[in-house]
Amino acid sequence: MLEIKDLHVQFNSRDHEAVSGVTLTIHDGEILGLVGESGSGKSVTAMSIAGLLPRKQCKLSGDVLLDGQDLLHAQRSELRRLHGRKIGVVFQEPMSSMDPLMRVGTQIGETLRIHQPDMPKEERHRLVYEAMRDVELPNPEETYRKYPHELSGGQQQRAMIAAAIVSRPSLLLLDEPTTALDVTIQAQILELLKKLNRETGISMLFISHNLNVVRKLCKRVAVMQKGKLVETGTTEDVFFRPQHPYTQKLIESIPTRHGKEVR
Amino acid sequence: MKNKRMNGYLLAGLILTGLLVALMLLGKFWTPYSPTEMNGAAKLQPPSWAHLFGTDNFGRDIFSRVMRGGGTTLTIAVLTIAIGAVLGTLIGAATGYFGGAVDDALMRLNDALTAFPSILLALLIISLVGPGKTYNVVIALGIVFIPSFARVMRTQFASQRNVNYITSARLMGAGSLRIMILHMLPNTLRTLLPALTIGFNNAVLAEASMSFLGIGVTPPDASLGYMLSEAQGMLVKAPWYAISTGAMIALLVFGVGLIGEGLQKLEREVD
Amino acid sequence: MKYTIRRIWMLVVTMLIVSFMTFLAFELVSGDPAQTMLGTEATPEQLAALRHELGLDQPFFARYFRWLGGFFTGDLGSSYIYRQGVWGLIAPKLSLTLLLALISFILITVISIPLGVWSYRFVGGPFDWLRTTFNQLCMAVPPFFVGILLCWIFGIILHLFTPGDFPALRSDPGGALRHLLFASICLCIPRIAMTVRMMRSTVIGEMEKAYVRTAISRGNDRRQVLTRHVLKNSLTSTVTFLGQTMAELVGGSIVVEQVFGIPGLGRFLVSSISNRDYPVVQAIVVLLAFWVVLAGTIADLINQRVDPRLRLGGGAK
């Protein structure tokens, strides 16, 4: 459903390409993990798929096709029609990613208001509550009226996910969605994402620097280093039979209680 | 603070301010005509080559008066800011570095002082120390500018109090005074410099306002503000007097404002 | 509600400190008012009688609280110069100054908020330097200089009003308002420039925040990001700034009243300072300070309505 072909991203302020020649496919209903250290270009890849890079400040080349539609060279207005409706994005810091002055429910329903302005209010509320139940936010009626700072970190991220899926997009981009959370909350969010994928068949691109997290969630993994894709394969293959020396080093560096368990 | 590049604002501001300051400093020693001597034969002349800014109804050369009056304004503004910045920095450094009860008390006092608009506070102080004397204007305005500098510098020093290199300097046995002057003060410059330009402009405008009201500088001294109040009286007969005097104040403030804008732009580019 | 009460309590405390500082300061410098009023020829008996009449033989704190109470009862002592009650002298002038400040405040709010948002469009553009320079120029022009120019052009040349001859508000409200409007224009120009500059940098700062990226990822266009999210988030700093503007307007009106010959509080303050008429100065200073503190309090209360985070008793940060 999403095809990335030979993607290059070059920021005007830098000498090196942030992403150089990434080719990647996400199949229908798949959760693909994208791992790498910070600065490896994984977030930039996601942002260029989402069309969130400042176009004036960088050069983009290659193809990004969502169900055959070109995202990289699309008009701004065309991209806006896809944002939220076909692609949902969840960011790393839920607290700062939410508008602090807008009620949680209003934020969750925002994509509906933008893309279906004629939808009656009651219908919109119904869909918002449905999305809130999907992400297992407690007391939807009460939470709807709350402000972001009144939620816990985990609830904030659940609300962000609800906002991303409320319009039922076909692709969800998750940029380090669990990094800012406690380990226990992290596990809950991962379970939630798995459940959403299972029940709704939504495709996901899950970006993380944490291999353990990726291993729990994804069937297929891609590894990036310095803007290049160094290895792609099933999670099993990559973790147990890493081909590239960089991947091997990454896996060795995973802290575990029993050093040998990973291998 | 490395890699400093000149920018247009800074350059234009420095040139404009430099020219005006040079003219005003020169006015302290030499002017084309005597700024105070009356000349019955040359009353109310519009600007000409002989009298660049014209003459007033006593036949005094306005260009000469502006040069001399600008010097007075400049002196007062610089002294005012010197008092405000030095005392403000001392208070801010002490309270920010040591913190504690004195810090709390002084900051409460500071809050109460902000209840007065600066010109009102200046008027209050001047009515206490007595109106109409140049050094009283300097004292009144100087006191008015202490709280704002103290507040800015307190934040600067407090934010550095627990930074690693300060802690390690302290562990190596450096005294508080040494730490404050050698290690902390240089780091506050990036905030202090723009604050100085804003303060200077406020001082020029405040002095001009007070002298305009007749409770600042009074004859035989003349500052630009006093001259403007004089010019208002002869607005019908000699509008050039008011225009050249007011424009001088505006240009001075404008020039220093550009320097401030340029400094802030430098900071943004460095970050 | 809790916040509101706490904020009003803060206002009361601040005003107590302000009034006490003012009273103490004048107590220290004013010498013996009875001597001032009666002159050097007065006999000791006359002095003692007047002191008793003015309540000067009472202890310091008794006099302070009596004076403080005067702001509620209207008995603020009497002027050394006019030999009349201070409150009676001040009251008609107070309304003029407040009217001038209010007109200016409305002009500033109505003009600078749209202008500030509009000026955001030029950020990074080729004409940005021009806008910045013009802005600096507007901030550099002293209000009283603009006032003099306005008097010259609109008063002396075009005869739209008579500088120095202020029509009474009662008999000629239209003329009085026109006069005040010209005065408020020169008060406004530098403040509008400052507000626009502040709005612009606030909007730039908000635009860099993470929630803007979220808003774009949901399909908002540039205008919607601004109107739905950024403007509301910029509102608190704008309100705080406008509160401070109210303070500066009071200060500015002191000078501008002089230029336009408006018989307001500021002009009276200046003449009273020259005359060393301390009871009048004292009262005006405290009243103007109260106006300023009140503006700050109202700004904080509005902000607390806008930003739910401020309601948690976290104070006005």
Assign residue C159 the CATH number of its domain. Answer: 1.10.3720.10
Final residue in a domain of this structure, among A168, A188, A208: A168
Domain carrying residue C134: 90-309
DSSP labels, A119-143: S-HHHHHHHHHHHHHHTT-SSHHHH
On whether both C59 and C113 belong to a single domain, the answer is: no
Residue B113 lies in a domain: yes
User: What pTM, to 2 d.p., does this model score?
Assistant: 0.83
**Regarding predicted confidence, which is higher, A173 or A263?**
A173
**DSSP 8-state secondary structure symbol assigned to residue B163:** -
Q: Which residue of C has its CA nearest to B113?
A: C18
On whether both A35 and A159 belong to a single domain, the answer is: no
User: Quick check: C251 and B214 CB within 8 A?
Assistant: no
Q: Which residue of C has its CA nearest to A56?
A: C124
Nearest to A111 among C210, C218, C312 (CB): C218
**DSSP 8-state secondary structure symbol assigned to residue A75:** -
Nearest to A91 among C213, C306, C308 (CB): C213
Averaged pLDDT for residues B77-91: 91
Evaluate if residue B220 carries a pLDDT over 80: no
Tell me if there are at least 3 CB pairs under 8 Å linking chains B and C. yes
**Distance in angstroms (rounded) separating the CA atoms of residues C50 and C33:** 9
**DSSP 8-state secondary structure symbol assigned to residue C24:** H
Residue C188 lies in a domain: yes
Domain carrying residue A159: 93-168
Q: Residue B189: what pLDDT?
A: 83
Percent of chain B with pLDDT over 90: 4
Q: CB atoms < 10 A from the CB of A170, how many? A: 18
| Residue C281 near residue B127 (C-beta atoms within 8 A) | yes
Question: Any idea which residue has 């500071």 for tokens?
Answer: B110
What band does A258 get if pLDDT is binned at 50, 70 and 90?
A: low
Evaluate if residue A263 carries a pLDDT over 70: no
The alpha-carbon gap from C213 to the nearest alpha carbon of chain A, in Å, equals 7
Residue B36 lies in a domain: no
Evaluate if residue C144 carries a pLDDT over 60: yes
The alpha-carbon gap from B182 to the nearest alpha carbon of chain C, in Å, equals 32
Percent of chain A with pLDDT over 70: 97
Low-confidence winner among A214-223, B186-195, C214-223 (lowest mean pLDDT): B186-195
Using one digit for the tens of pLDDT, what is the confidence trace for A64-100? 888 888 888 888 888 888 888 889 999 888 889 999 9
Q: Residue A9: what pLDDT?
A: 87
- The gap between the terminal CA atoms of chain C, to the nearest Å, is 18
On whether both A97 and A76 belong to a single domain, the answer is: no
Pairing of β A31-35 and β A220-225? parallel
List residues bridging with A5 in a β-sheet: A63
What band does B271 get if pLDDT is binned at 50, 70 and 90?
A: low
Nearest to C142 among B108, B249, B258 (CB): B249
Q: Which residue of C has its CA nearest to A84?
A: C218
Averaged pLDDT for residues A236-249: 83
Averaged pLDDT for residues C40-63: 79
Q: Residue A62: what pLDDT?
A: 87
Residue B44 lies in a domain: no
Averaged pLDDT for residues A135-140: 89
**Regarding predicted confidence, which is higher, B110 or A183?**
A183
Residue B109 lies in a domain: yes
| Residue closest to C25 by CA, chosen among B113, B26, B152, B105 | B113
Evaluate if residue B20 carries a pLDDT over 80: yes
| Residue C152 near residue C145 (C-beta atoms within 8 A) | no
Q: Tell me what the pLDDT averaged over chain C comes to.
A: 84
Question: What are B84's two structure tokens?
Answer: 């405000």
Nearest to B250 among C140, C259, C278 (CB): C140
**Distance in angstroms (rounded) separating the CA atoms of residues C297 and C224:** 31
Q: What's the length of chain A?
A: 263
Q: Residue A261: what pLDDT?
A: 46
C175 contact B CB<8A: no
Final residue in a domain of this structure, among C26, C42, C73: C73
B-C Cβ pairs (cutoff 8 Å, strict):
124
Q: Tell me what the pLDDT averaged over chain A comes to.
A: 86
What band does B3 get if pLDDT is binned at 50, 70 and 90?
A: very low
Considering its fold, how many domains does chain B have in total? 1
Cα dihedral A188/A192/A198/A204 (nearest 10): -110
Considering its fold, how many domains does chain C have in total? 2
Q: Residue C145: what pLDDT?
A: 87
Which helix (H) or strand (E) element contains residue C102? helix C86-119
What band does C316 get if pLDDT is binned at 50, 70 and 90?
A: very low
**Distance in angstroms (rounded) separating the CA atoms of residues B80 and C219:** 54
On whether both C65 and C95 belong to a single domain, the answer is: no
Evaluate if residue C314 carries a pLDDT over 60: no
Core vs surface per residue B4-26: b (16+ CB within 10 A) or e: eeebebbebbbebbeebbebbee
| Residue closest to A101 by CA, chosen among C303, C216, C36 | C303
Taking only Cα atoms into account, the Rg of chain C, rounded to an integer number of angstroms, comes to 24
Final residue in a domain of this structure, among A168, A195, A219: A168
On whether both A163 and A184 belong to a single domain, the answer is: no
C314: helix, coil or strand? coil
Final residue in a domain of this structure, among A168, A199, A231: A168
Interface residues of A toward C, Cβ cutoff 8 Å, are 50, 52, 76-77, 80-85, 87-89, 91, 93, 96-102, 110-111, 114-115, 147, 149-150, 160, 163
Residue C79 lies in a domain: no
Phi, psi for A2 (deg, rounded to 5) = -115, 125
**Distance in angstroms (rounded) separating the CA atoms of residues B44 and B233:** 13
Which residues, other chains included, contact C57 with Cβ-Cβ below 8 Å and sequence gap of 6+? C48, C51
Averaged pLDDT for residues C280-302: 89
Neighbours of chain A (3+ CB pairs under 8 A): C
Question: What are A208's two structure tokens?
Answer: 């993380």
User: Which chain B residues touch C251 with a CB distance below 8 Å?
Assistant: 117-120
Final residue in a domain of this structure, among C46, C73, C100: C73
What band does A262 get if pLDDT is binned at 50, 70 and 90?
A: very low
User: Quick check: C140 and B201 CB within 8 A?
Assistant: yes
The alpha-carbon gap from B6 to the nearest alpha carbon of chain C, in Å, equals 15
Provide the H-helix boundaries in chain B: 8-27, 62-98, 100-113, 118-129, 134-160, 164-171, 176-178, 185-212, 224-233, 239-270
Domain carrying residue B110: 2-31+52-270
User: Quick check: C293 and B115 CB within 8 A?
Assistant: yes
Q: Which residue of C has its CA nearest to B206?
A: C142
On whether both C66 and C187 belong to a single domain, the answer is: no
- The gap between the terminal CA atoms of chain A, to the nearest Å, is 32
Residue B187 lies in a domain: yes
3-class SS letters over A37-62: CCCCCHHHHHHHHHCCCCHHHEEEEE
Hey, which of A86-100, C42-56, C149-163 has the most confident mean pLDDT?
A86-100
User: Quick check: B124 and C145 CB within 8 A?
Assistant: no
List, as ranges, residues 275-304 from C with C-beta within 8 Å of B.
276, 278, 281, 285, 288-289, 292-293, 296
Low-confidence winner among B58-72, B196-210, B248-262, C94-108 (lowest mean pLDDT): B58-72
Q: Tell me what the pLDDT averaged over chain B comes to.
A: 81
Query: A76: buried, middle or exposed (CB in 10 Å: 19+, 13-18, 0-12)?
Result: exposed
Question: What are B250's two structure tokens?
Answer: 């505006």
Domain CATH number, residue B80: 1.10.3720.10
Tell me if there are at least 3 CB pairs under 8 Å linking chains A and C. yes
Using one digit for the tens of pLDDT, what is the confidence trace for C195-251? 998 998 899 889 888 899 999 999 888 888 988 899 999 998 899 899 888 888 888
What band does B2 get if pLDDT is binned at 50, 70 and 90?
A: very low
Q: Residue A256: what pLDDT?
A: 63
On whether both A79 and A184 belong to a single domain, the answer is: yes
**Regarding predicted confidence, which is higher, C223 or B58?**
C223
Which residues, other chains included, contact C105 with Cβ-Cβ below 8 Å and sequence gap of 6+? C242, C245, C246, C249
Residue C41 lies in a domain: yes
On whether both A52 and A180 belong to a single domain, the answer is: yes
Question: What are B246's two structure tokens?
Answer: 């007011």
On whether both A77 and A130 belong to a single domain, the answer is: no
Using one digit for the tens of pLDDT, what is the confidence trace for B126-173? 877 877 677 888 888 898 888 888 888 888 888 887 777 777 877 777
Q: Residue B4: what pLDDT?
A: 53
What angle in degrees, to the nearest 10, is found between the helix axes of B118-129 and C2-29?
A: 20
C232 contact A CB<8A: yes
| Residue C192 near residue C138 (C-beta atoms within 8 A) | yes
Hey, which of A244-248, B32-36, B45-49, C31-35 has the most confident mean pLDDT?
A244-248
**DSSP 8-state secondary structure symbol assigned to residue B114:** T
Percent of chain C with pLDDT over 70: 97
User: Quick check: C288 and B208 CB within 8 A?
Assistant: no
The alpha-carbon gap from C297 to the nearest alpha carbon of chain A, in Å, equals 21
On whether both C221 and C165 belong to a single domain, the answer is: yes
C263: helix, coil or strand? coil
Q: What letter represents residue A198's amino acid?
A: R
User: Quick check: C29 and B128 CB within 8 A?
Assistant: yes
**Distance in angstroms (rounded) separating the CA atoms of residues A33 and A39:** 16
User: Quick check: C140 and B253 CB within 8 A?
Assistant: yes
On whether both A214 and A140 belong to a single domain, the answer is: no
**Regarding predicted confidence, which is higher, B79 or C317?**
B79
On whether both C125 and C69 belong to a single domain, the answer is: no
Residue C171 lies in a domain: yes
Considering its fold, how many domains does chain A have in total? 2
Q: Residue B5: what pLDDT?
A: 61
